[in-house]
């Protein structure tokens, strides 16, 4: 007898990344007192940022509400398309090829999301109107922290994150179930890039050159026109000359500081 509540993949795919965002951010809030691993001091976080944490929470919740609406529409269109074309696959075949297919879909989705976000992000920096009225909202966080990762102007949230996510879902051809894992992973990565900490053994730091220190450079005035890549690779920055290398230096009073290297200052 199956009388329990059953949640569809589409419903989980819509809300899992939101839940993951706040849970993972919450972990970093608890770890924020570890001054020996911070990229900026707690004092700098409180004094240099140009927006209150309450406003950041409100802004993030607004963006996530928009994302949830778009995800619901996207999943509904995908379901309708499947019903019209009758493209359901054989379960046996799906099971045999699932790992290969999933790996390919994840890689394609990562590349699509990175490409879309790099060029949109870079354009928002170089177009003075878009930067002043839209993207500058995110840069009110001069000292990034975890739950501010998605603090953006609603237009930017729609253009950069929501449409970018929709394109990665559609082009990769992943299923709603696969999207649960992909977008939850992408959310973890985005939060980690803004966490403001350099923790030993962090897997994201070991696997990706695009990490919290790399993105911290971009949030500083000297790195404002560099390190646009997000959230996974640094490929486009390297190819198009916007890569700013850095070194991690220990501060005398504890913690780390990401500093541009001599090579980057010459560019």
The neighbour count for residue 214, using CB atoms within 10 Å, is: 24
Look at residue 12 in the predicted model and tell me its pLDDT: 95
pLDDT digits (tens, 9 = 90+) for 135-185: 999 999 999 999 999 999 999 999 999 999 999 999 999 999 999 999 999
- Nearest to 191, CA basis, from 204, 207, 206: 204
| Structure tokens given for 8 | 């569809």
For residues 166 and 109, is the Cβ–Cβ distance under 8 A?
no
Look at residue 96 in the predicted model and tell me its pLDDT: 43
Mean of pLDDT values over 241-249: 96
For residues 45 and 143, is the Cβ–Cβ distance under 8 A?
yes
| Structure tokens given for 96 | 């045999």
Q: Which residue has the tokens 């911070």?
A: 38
Give the span between the Cα atoms of 212 and 199, in whole angstroms.
Answer: 10
pLDDT digits (tens, 9 = 90+) for 221-235: 999 999 999 999 999
Give the span between the Cα atoms of 56 and 45, in whole angstroms.
Answer: 13
- In this prediction, residue 212 has a pLDDT band, given cuts at 50, 70 and 90, of very high
Mean of pLDDT values over 25-40: 94
Look at residue 77 in the predicted model and tell me its pLDDT: 86
Q: Residue 243 above 90 pLDDT?
A: yes
| Structure tokens given for 72 | 């619901």
pLDDT digits (tens, 9 = 90+) for 103-139: 999 999 999 999 999 999 999 999 999 999 999 999 9
Q: Residue 5 above 70 pLDDT?
A: no
pLDDT digits (tens, 9 = 90+) for 43-101: 999 999 999 999 999 999 999 999 999 999 988 887 777 666 655 554 544 554 488 99
User: How many residues can be counted in the chain?
Assistant: 267
Q: Residue 34 above 80 pLDDT?
A: yes
Look at residue 86 in the predicted model and tell me its pLDDT: 58
Look at residue 98 in the predicted model and tell me its pLDDT: 84
- The residues that bridge with 259 in the sheet, in sequence order, are 247
- In this prediction, residue 3 has a pLDDT band, given cuts at 50, 70 and 90, of low
Give the span between the Cα atoms of 28 and 195, in whole angstroms.
Answer: 7
φ/ψ of residue 36, rounded to 5:
-70, -10
């Amino acid at each position: 007898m199956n009388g329990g509540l059953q949640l569809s993949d589409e419903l989980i795919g819509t809300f899992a990344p939101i839940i993951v965002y706040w849970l993972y951010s919450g972990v970093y809030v608890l770890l924020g007192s570890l001054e020996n691993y911070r990229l900026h001091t707690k004092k700098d976080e409180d004094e240099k940022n140009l927006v209150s944490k309450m406003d950041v929470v409100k802004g993030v919740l607004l963006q996530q509400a928009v994302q949830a609406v778009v995800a619901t529409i996207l999943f509904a269109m995908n379901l309708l398309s499947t019903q019209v074309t009758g493209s359901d696959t054989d379960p046996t075949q799906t099971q045999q090829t699932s790992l290969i297919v999933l790996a390919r879909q994840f890689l394609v989705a990562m590349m699509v999301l990175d490409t879309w976000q790099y060029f949109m992000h870079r354009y928002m920096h170089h177009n003075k109107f878009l930067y002043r009225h839209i993207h500058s909202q995110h840069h009110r966080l001069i000292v990034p922290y975890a739950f501010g990762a998605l603090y953006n102007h609603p237009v930017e949230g729609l253009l950069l994150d929501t449409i970018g996510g929709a394109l990665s879902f559609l082009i990769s051809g992943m299923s709603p179930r696969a999207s649960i894992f992909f977008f939850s992973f992408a959310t973890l990565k985005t939060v980690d890039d803004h966490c403001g900490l350099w923790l030993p053994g962090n897997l994201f730091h070991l696997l990706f050159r695009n990490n919290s220190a790399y993105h911290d450079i971009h949030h500083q005035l000297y790195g404002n026109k560099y390190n646009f890549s997000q959230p996974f690779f640094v490929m486009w920055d390297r190819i198009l000359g916007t890569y700013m290398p850095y070194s991690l230096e220990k501060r005398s009073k504890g913690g780390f500081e990401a500093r541009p290297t001599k090579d980057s200052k010459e560019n």
